[in-house]
Amino acid sequence: MSVATPPTAHAPRVGPAVTTSVRTEAVQRVVKVRRDYNKWVASETMEDYALRFTPHSFRKWSELRVANTAFGAASFLVLEAVGATLLVEYGFVNAFWAILITGLIIFLAGVPISCYAARHGVDMDLLTRGAGFGYIGSTVTSLIYASFTFIFFALEAAIMAYALELAFDIPPAWGYLICALVVVPLVTHGVTVISKLQVWTQPLWIFLLVVPYVYVFQKNPGVLNELTGYAGASGQGGQFNIAMFGAAMTVGIALITQMGEQVDYLRFMPERTQKNRFRWWAGVLVGGPGWVVPGVLKMLGGALLAYLAISHSVPVDRAVDPNQMYLAAYEYVFPRATWAIAATALLVVVSQLKINVTNAYAGSPMTWPIARPTSGTSVHCAARSTLAAMTCASPTRTGPRNGRPRRARFCRA
């Protein structure tokens, strides 16, 4: 029987007749990829609880900052394109009432959605589960939402690509690639950088948006009277027609899905207290259903600018392009066509960057909620979004998933 070894720095004291061996500590090797990934996860700039439950400790921005970030999503020029299309297809009377009723429906539906998202810090997937849609129902709604963001990502990128072609003669194929890839560095840092982008670009965007309308009304005061009598390309929309009104409504009501993107920002609204309750409600209404107010105005403005472009001998199929609309309007502002093209391109690029960072951030991980995350923070979300938008396919994942709200370090469906 052996005698116990005396205690040392590596071997503790033990009882008699027991022997111990000196243990050496294994050296852990951390490769650079793993070290970089750990830094990304630990950084709140890269990891912002992408599209999941947002804890109160992370809701550090003011009500105004969150509302301004969400409100910036109203910049998308598809609104003008929708208004122009409704005007050309169904005439001004039917398009006008369809736009107003659509806006009212979206606003009323968006109030409770925005309220619950801001109050509980959850995204649309968790809202649908909590509303009783169930596991499969939430899967279907997430698929619809993902399809919306992917389609709009592609549409907005196409508008921006045409602006690059107009200003710099860049082929559309290269323009699509540029517009998709330029968003990735912005989205990789999540809502932290997106909020800064929205704040910095908001004054410039509003200025570029309002100026052409001011000059149009100043130099062509009778344009509204001419617009109200426009009966559409077919000439059959001169009077209110219930069938045309219903058809126009089906086009406009599709924009209700935009509320999902508003919710993705309202999750960061600070907790409502007795002290900030008025600011909280104002922020929720402005950042949530409030986007409909400029949205309705932009659709009506798109109808006006489309009519203006048509009156300037622009073909009907091109008059619904926002680039041609604002080019026709900026020709009232600048005496030289070069300046008008430059102003139009700047407006389009700023508007499309503001909305496409939202499309990429909101739609990147919105695949089906039947899967477990495989990787990533906002870096992975942005890359997946670009690939999905360019291929019109949603990334797939495998494995079960726990649906309870918890901190999301991964892109979850």
CATH number, domain containing residue 374: 1.10.4160.10
**Residue range(s) defining the domain that contains residue 142:** 59-391
Q: Give this prediction's pTM.
A: 0.74
How far apart are the two ends of the chain, measured CA to CA in Å? 62
Average confidence (pLDDT) over 67-83: 88
What is the rounded average pLDDT for all residues in the chain?
77
Decide if 362 is inside a domain. yes
Alpha carbons 263 and 115: distance in angstroms, whole number:
9
Q: Is residue 285 part of a domain?
A: yes
Residue 387 forms part of a structural domain: yes
Q: What is the mean pLDDT of residues 308-313?
A: 90
Q: How far apart are CA 73 and CA 197, in angstroms?
A: 11
Task: Determine how many CB atoms are found less than 10 A away from the CB of residue 123.
Answer: 27
Q: Is the dihedral of CA 168, 200, 188, 254 positive or negative?
A: negative
Q: What is the mean pLDDT of residues 168-179?
A: 87
Looking at residue 17, the DSSP 8-state letter turns out to be T
Asked if the model's pLDDT at residue 409 lies above 80, the reply is: no
Looking at mean pLDDT, say which of 12-16, 120-124, 232-236, 238-242 comes out highest: 238-242
What total number of domains does the chain contain?
1
User: Residue 51 falls within a domain, yes or no?
Assistant: no
| Greatest mean pLDDT among 46-50, 173-177, 385-389, 395-399 | 173-177
What is the predicted pLDDT for the residue at 147?
78
Name the residue with higher pLDDT: 346 or 199: 346
**147-165, pLDDT tens digit by residue?**
777 787 788 888 888 899 9
What percent of the chain has pLDDT above 70? 73
pLDDT value of residue 198: 87
Kindly state whether residue 3 falls inside one of the protein's structural domains: no
In-domain check, residue 200 = yes
- Tally of CB atoms within 10 A around 347: 26
Is residue 311 included in any domain, yes or no? yes
The SS3 assignment for 46 reads: coil
Q: Residue 402 domain-assigned?
A: no
Q: Which stretch of 15-19, 72-76, 94-98, 283-287 has the lowest confidence by average pLDDT?
A: 15-19
pLDDT for 399 equals: 36
